Each structure stands twice: as C-alpha cells, then as structure tokens.
A and B are shown apart, each in its own frame.
Chain A
C-alpha cells in the first residue's frame, strides 16, 4: 500500500549516542519534509528536500542532518543526542503540483534523550 513510514515510533536513548530516524514513502513523491514538534507547540520545519541529492534547512535551526540518496528515503541523523533533542519528529511528503492535495504525514517518532 502506498504510504509513508517512520521508524521507530518511540526511542529512548542516552546522551551522546548517534541516532538515525527513518522515513520512507512508497508514493513516488519528490518532496519530503521533517518537522519537529514539542508538546503544545507548533510544528516547525527543520529540513526539506525537493528531490534526490537536494536537501535544505528549514525555519527552525536544528543540529540534525538529513540525506536524500533515493527518492523514497529521507533519514534524519543526530550525531550526538542531547536532552534538548527530546521531541516528536514528523516526516511528510508531497508531490509536484500538489497545491490541491497537501502533505501526507507519517506517524512520527517520539524521541527521548536521557
């Protein structure tokens, strides 16, 4: 089934560890996005990509990095996790000419750094 998948759903990890949050979509969408959301706060765009080998930083400064080597895969990496990185991370995708259809969101990864 065409969809967007995020793993893991929940992650508790110690300070200083390197982590990668996975996001994959099977819809053939060119555009993909990462949002960060703290409880009760807005969703903030931290990274986006308009296609393979294209990545840009979003409006909220983030210490994370992303890569887009394949159309369907848009992983987010934190080289050294800190408690300040504790948040929910949402991945989304959209297609060209999507002005009428909005974004498709994944289920999110809730990250806790202890």
Chain B
C-alpha cells in the first residue's frame, strides 16, 4: 500500500536560514511526487512536481528512489514562505495521496 510520511508537524526557522521539509514515501510502483502549499487563508495549490525538476519560489525537491524521499529545500527562508506544506504521491491509479503536512514558520 502507498503511504506518504512527513515526520515534522511543525518546523520553525529564522529568516535567511536554510530550510528542509522532509517527505518519505512507500510505493511499490513508479512514484510521481508533488509538493503542495497552503498559505494563510488561501487554497491548497501546487508548488512543484518532481518530473519537471524545476525551482519554484526558490524551492527545489529531488526524488531519491534509494531513500524513498522527496525532501523540499530552500537555501534562504523568507517570511512569506510561512505556510502549510503537503507532500503528495500519485499512484498508477492517478489518485493523489497526501502526507499530514508540515507547518513552516519563518521567524523574522
């Protein structure tokens, strides 16, 4: 069965510090991983997807199949990065499975 684990419910970092939000998954097939973000009083929205290998708002995430991880990283956190972040796994059935989320707070 598929599963997405985000071990940290809360994460606080100072502005300008590096940030890493952890995500591990379990899935027997070929995974597709995503990061979604929800800013205060806004909708859940797509941040980035692993297949595009892009950087969005300074965030990057690399799929590590050996470690079954898809950690989200940013070298210098900004106050506007404070939000709820969800890692999601898409299976062959084309449905998304979400982790429990990590609330990131960037301290000024």
* A interface, CB within 8 angstroms of B: 31, 33, 35, 40-43, 45, 48, 58-59, 90, 99-103, 105-108
| Cα distance, A103 to B86, chains bound together (Å) | 13
The residue on A at minimum CB distance from B34 is A102
The residue on B at minimum CB distance from A37 is B98
B20-28, B38-46, B65-73, B74-82: which lies at the A interface? B38-46
Q: Considering the complex, which residues of chain B in the window 43-93 have a beta carbon less than 8 Å from any beta carbon of chain A?
A: 43-46, 49, 51-52, 86
17 A-B residue pairs with Cβ-Cβ distance under 8 Å, sorted by A, are A40-B9, A40-B100, A40-B101, A42-B97, A42-B99, A43-B86, A45-B95, A45-B97, A90-B44, A100-B52, A102-B46, A102-B49, A103-B46, A103-B96, A105-B43, A105-B44, A108-B43
| Cα distance, A45 to B95, chains bound together (Å) | 8
Chain B residues with CB under 8 Å of A106's CB are 43
> What band does the interface of chain B fall in when counting residues whose beta carbon is under 8 Å from A?
20 to 34
Chain A residues with CB under 8 Å of B4's CB are 42
| Cα distance, A35 to B95, chains bound together (Å) | 11
